[in-house]
Amino acid sequence: MDKPTMNQKKAKAYAWVPSLYLGESLPFSAVMLISVIMFKELGLTDGQITFYTGWLGLPWVIKPIWSPIIDNIKTKRWWIVSMQFFMGVALALVAFTLPTPFWFQGSLAIFVLIAFASATHDISADGFYIIGLPDKEQELYVGVRNTFYRIGMVIGQGGLVLLAGYIQNLIKEGNLDFSLFTFHFSLSSIIASWMVVFLILGVLMFLLGLYHAFMLPKVETEHFDFKEQMYEFSRTLIVFLTKPHLISALCFILLFRLPEGLLTKIVPLFLTRTSAEGGLGMSDVDFGFIYGTLGVIGLLLGGIVGGWAVSKWGLKRCLWPLVLCITLPDIVYVYLSYYPTDNLWLVGSCVCIEQIGYGLGFAAYTLYLVTFSRGEHSTTVFSICTAGQYFGGVMIPGMVSGLISENIGYQSFFWIVMAFCLVTFAVTAFVKIEDHQE
């Protein structure tokens, strides 16, 4: 495989690593987070929203299955650029489906395509990062890639949701004219705002594709051995299935994030539903700032502190304190459901506390996946682990969370989330962390 010299890599890494991971997070935000708020404003129930957007997570669960195929067709660089161009066009197409009678079916079908393209992009981007940089450079830029991934989340679920709310306000105040729409005024303002958001997302992804077409270094050829790739994948499954303490590890991987998986899609709905619906009635502008910006910053801060704590005191010693950090702060939503308020400082503080705790606990969880994956075929084993944690800890609980909250209300739902923290405690109590895993 052809590779550039280390000096070439070193000189160019700063020019493509940040933008590569910005391009990884923007479509994920659009499919899994922004769509939740948009569908809510367009009249869908919590159960419908969580069920349909939950299914959109399937490509990230099954992506280890087709990663060997991607490795054998074209290069990772080709896949990255192609998927970014494709997602740019697809995101723009979402905007043009919204004023049509088939807006739901059309946008959902396009979201499915974007989800598969985004998961394919993730496979290629992570693989390109490994082959495009030497080990020392990978360690140097890991903080950069994580930071820009979170920046993409802030832009998506923070800035663009805030922009949607701002546009809606301008239209309602008569400062923007969208009279070309034939819908009722209040509905047309919603549609117009989300059209602008998805057009902006489409342009951003297309520009990233154009940028990477010139800036990504050429570090590989198109020659691969498919039979060898499939043999290596089967060997990986054997390595995974023969790992020590596999049952307790699987329980930990699948169920550790269960409480957060229930919360992920419901919290944005709870914050933005009206008081008559049991929510806090937060506007898109306030939501974009509080949850999409301050919350993500809190998550990033918690992740940094959690990683530092584990590196200093070891995973075994830090595990239980960090488990308490990811579970106990969920109680803030119980409080807010019983004592709703329009005090943004109070709501923002609650969200930040919960997200910082989530970041702390998730750092320990991620480092467990890393230590469990060490050894033969570590990269592919890790991808299987991340697929498993997304399936058990995000996708399935996310799909049913709306149906639960619809039938019992937000107050009882948040108590159920607290009860499921006992599951997290149970799988943590049985998981094995060997001394060599520290």
The distance of Cα 268 from the centroid of its chain, to the nearest Å, equals 14
Per CATH, 1-224 and 231-438 having the same topology is answered yes
Model pLDDT, residue 201: 95
Model pLDDT, residue 182: 42
Q: pTM here?
A: 0.84
The distance of Cα 34 from the centroid of its chain, to the nearest Å, equals 11
Residues 6+ apart with CB under 8 A from 275: 281, 340
Classified by CATH at the fold level, domain 1-224 comes out as Growth Hormone; Chain: A; (1.20.1250)
The distance of Cα 340 from the centroid of its chain, to the nearest Å, equals 28
Give 381-438 pLDDT, tens digit per residue. Answer: 888 888 888 898 889 999 999 999 999 999 999 999 999 999 999 999 999 886 544 4
Model pLDDT, residue 11: 41
Q: Is residue 235 within 8 Å of residue 380, measured between CB atoms?
A: no
Give 66-77 pLDDT, tens digit per residue. Answer: 777 777 778 889
Please tell me what DSSP assigns to residue 176.
S
Q: Which CATH superfamily is domain 231-438 in?
A: MFS general substrate transporter like domains (1.20.1250.20)
Residues 6+ apart with CB under 8 A from 328: 357, 421
127 vs 77, 251, 363, CA distance in Å?
A: 10, 28, 22
Model pLDDT, residue 203: 96
HSE-up of residue 150 (Cα within 13 Å, Cβ side):
20
Q: Mark the ranges of the chain whose per-residue pLDDT is less than 50.
A: 1-11, 180-187, 436-438
**What are the extents of the domains in the chain?**
1-224, 231-438
